[in-house]
A and B are shown apart, each in its own frame.
Chain A
Amino acid sequence: MQHTSTQDTLVGLFVASGIVGLFFLAMQVSNLSSFVEEDSYTITARFENSGGLKIKSPVSAAGVKIGRVSNISFDPKTYESVVQMNINSHYNTIPDDTTASIFTAGLLGEQYVNLEPGGSDVYLQNEGEIEITQSAIILEKAIGQFLFKSAEESAEEKK
């Protein structure tokens, strides 16, 4: 039965290469390798407007990614956007007077939360809240204000 044993080997090779293909897709192509859930703690920040921020958007400090946005909800009392972030527990020395702002990566890139540490000696704990926040810059609003301003200026010059 020599024929059967080569057949077995070929089937084995086929299954193995299929599994290698899946493994390749999982580790090399997708974000699974960087998605290993390390210990993290949650902090929240309230923004007047969280713009195009999404769940899973990155949270970074000084340009380094230190966590992800885990939840975004609307507070019906204060009319603010409540953004929950999971921060990697390696970075447990974020001062409580940190400023959180929403920036855009590049002109058309995705939005992310940037944390700018303050000078306080008290660090944020799990479930802590960032008090100082800066809303997302809404491009339409900014352009509108700019146009309004320049129209006003030109009207004054005519007088």
Chain B
Amino acid sequence: MIQFLQHLGKKTRTSFTKLGRGTFFLLQIISGILSVLPRPRLLLNQMYSIGVLSFLIITISGLFVGMVLGLQGYYTLSDFGAEETLGVMVAASLVRELGPVVSALLFAGRAGSALTAEIGLMKATEQLSGMEMMAVDPVKRIISPRFLAGLISMPLLAALFSAVGIIGGQIVGSGLLGVDEGAFWSQMQANIDFQDDIVNGVIKSIVFGFITSWIALFEGYDAIPTSEGVSRATTRTVVNSAFSILGLDFILTALMFGDD
């Protein structure tokens, strides 16, 4: 019993210590962002490996998610004779929820895990301490550009996901199932609000980009520098990112769409 309590206390303490280290690390990253700005080349390289390489998975998934929404929505809505509102249903669910959330989950799996593995291996092969030895701050040189790139890429990817998804829904809805194309778009435009839906969706995706990049970089930086440690850190990145994305999504949704 005493042993169990000791174990519990130790666990709690280590997790709080880790949270503290993470917060400190975040402050370091943010203060390092300023020194990225005069060197846009670093940022550009990271935008390539984080943003451009995630482009394909995001657009293809977006297309299929939109097409499935079109199909499922059509079958349900046609029971009520309301096929014309298919556009609203597809667009609202994509812009408000699925766009930011699914693209963030894909982003965590595609880019987040790669970031953790990269940073973790750099630590394991002592590249980071080598940099410190040469008086180069690894946070400024390695971490901050990646963080900034994730923060910028995420809203763009989420917007692409939603846009491609809506087009996919339109292809299925009015192309295959025969919903009137004019009604599809006009109902959508009448019911989707720029401020309430689109801007809030973009805010969500910025928050998700922030949290995912932070978790991925911290887990990599904090990994035990062995091959097993790196592999565990990579797993933790995906699991923790998924938890925080879905948990934050609930909180953000409650805040944004509360009084409607």
Q: Which residues of B contact A15 (CB under 8 A)?
A: 47, 51, 156
Fill in one digit per residue for B171-195: 1 if any A CB lies within 8 Å of its CB, else 0: 0000000000000010011111110
B45: nearest chain-A partner, CB-CB: A7
Is B257 located at the chain interface by the 8 A CB criterion? no
A32 surroundings in chain B (CB, below 8 A): 194, 198
With both chains docked as a complex, state the minimum distance between the C-beta of A55 and any C-beta of chain B, in angstroms: 12
Contact A21 B194 (CB under 8 A): no
CB proximity to B under 8 Å, residues A22-46: 22, 24-26, 28-35
Q: Any chain A CB within 8 A of the CB of B19?
A: no
Given contacts A19-B156, A30-B189, A31-B190, contact A25 B51 (CB under 8 A): no
Check if B193 sits within 8 Å of A31, measured CB to CB. Answer: yes
Q: Which residues of chain A come closer than 8 Å to B192, judged between CB atoms?
A: 29-31
- Residue of B44, B48, B163 most packed against chain A (CB within 10 A): B163
Q: How far is the CA of A57 from the CA of B29 in the complex (A)?
A: 46
Q: Does A10 contact B (CB under 8 A)?
A: yes
Within the assembled complex, what's the spacing in Å between the Cα atoms of A22 and B152?
A: 13
A11 pairs with B51, CB closer than 8 A: yes
Q: Which of A7, A29, A33 contacts B198 (CB 8 A)?
A: A29
Tell me the bound Cα distance from A29 to B163 in angstroms: 9
CB nearest neighbor in A for B99: A25
- Interface pair B55/A30, CB less than 8 Å apart: no
Query: Measured between alpha carbons, how far is A35 from B198 in the docked complex, in Å?
Result: 14
Docked complex: B78-101 residues within 8 A CB-CB of A: 91, 95
Distance in Å from the Cβ of B157 to the closest Cβ of chain A? 7
Is A92 interfacial (CB-CB < 8 Å)? no
- Judge whether A8 is part of the interface by a CB distance below 8 angstroms: yes
Cβ 8 A contact of A22, one of B55, B185, B202? B202
The verdict on B206 contacting chain A, using a C-beta distance below 8 Å, is no
- CB atoms of A25 and B45 under 8 A apart: no
The one of A10, A18, A30, A34 in contact with B160, judged by C-beta atoms closer than 8 angstroms, is A18
Whether B198 and A26, one on each chain, are in contact in the complex, defined by CB atoms closer than 8 angstroms, is yes
**Chain A residue at smallest Cβ distance from B91:** A29
* B187-216, CB < 8 A from A: 188-194, 197-198, 202
Interface bin, chain A: 20 to 34
Q: A residues within 8 A CB of B91?
A: 29
CB distance from A3 to the nearest CB of B (A): 10
Contact, CB under 8 Å: B185 / A28: yes
Q: A7-B45, A11-B52 are in contact. Are A18 and B156 (CB under 8 A)?
A: yes
Cβ–Cβ contact B198 & A25, under 8 A:
yes
Closest CB-CB distance, B116 to chain A, in whole Å?
22
Whether A8 touches B95, Cβ cut-off 8 Å, given contacts A30-B198, A32-B194, is no
Instruction: Check: A17 CB closer than 8 A to any chain B CB.
Output: yes
Interface membership of B234, Cβ < 8 A: no
Q: How far is the CA of A26 from the CA of B194 in the complex (A)?
A: 6
Q: Is A14 interfacial (CB-CB < 8 Å)?
A: yes
Residues of chain A within 8 A (CB-CB) of B194 are 26, 30-32, 35
Closest 8 CB pairs of A and B: A18-B156, A21-B163, A21-B159, A32-B194, A30-B194, A21-B160, A22-B159, A30-B192
**Residues of B in contact with A (beta carbons under 8 Å apart):** 44-45, 47-48, 51-52, 55, 91, 95, 153, 155-157, 159-160, 162-164, 166, 185, 188-194, 197-198, 202
